[in-house]
Amino acid sequence: MSLQKYINAHSMPWLALFSTSATLLCCALPILLVSLGMGASVASLVSNMPWLITLSEHKIWLFSVSALLLLFSFISLFRPNRSCPSDAKLGHLCQKSQVWNRRILWLSLIIWGIGFFAAFLALPLQIWFDHLFIGVSA
């Protein structure tokens, strides 16, 4: 395996984790804080980090790009005929890095799912439950 392929195969899960963390920051964290009655904390957070507003304005693009990165990571980690070097020391390191990359990938998937739920499903579900159980009209 060439050095460039090795770097690409091992950096993709980290890139996916970074992008999914951005989805969590833009969408899930502010919704959680407001739900807990900490609206002033959200206002302070946005005033100190104004780039969060830009992320939330472009959340469809953010989630799409992070989903593609997760897909590429998944394909690169679980593709058929993936093998480690035959050298014992390098083979052990390769197996160890694959285990950690899989853990990072699954953590990224969980973070992406939480962010997706908070950004796209939480409000429609709340409105639906309000109409269903309380009978609130729009």
pLDDT in tens, 38-94: 888 888 888 898 888 887 888 889 888 888 888 888 888 887 887 777 888 888 888
Q: Are 13 and 73 in contact (CB under 8 A)?
A: yes
Q: Output the pTM of the full model.
A: 0.71
Q: Where are the alpha helices (DSSP H) in 24-87?
A: 29-35, 39-48, 51-57, 59-77
Domain count for the chain, please give it: 1
Q: Are 39 and 33 in contact (CB under 8 A)?
A: yes
Q: Are 18 and 104 in contact (CB under 8 A)?
A: no
Least Cα distance to 94 among 106, 80, 77, 109 occurs for 77
Reported as a single tens digit per residue, the pLDDT across 103-124 is: 888 888 888 888 888 888 887 8
| Domain of 32, in residue numbers | 3-134
Alpha-carbon span 1 to 94, nearest angstrom? 11
Q: Mean of the pLDDT values across residues 6-33?
A: 71
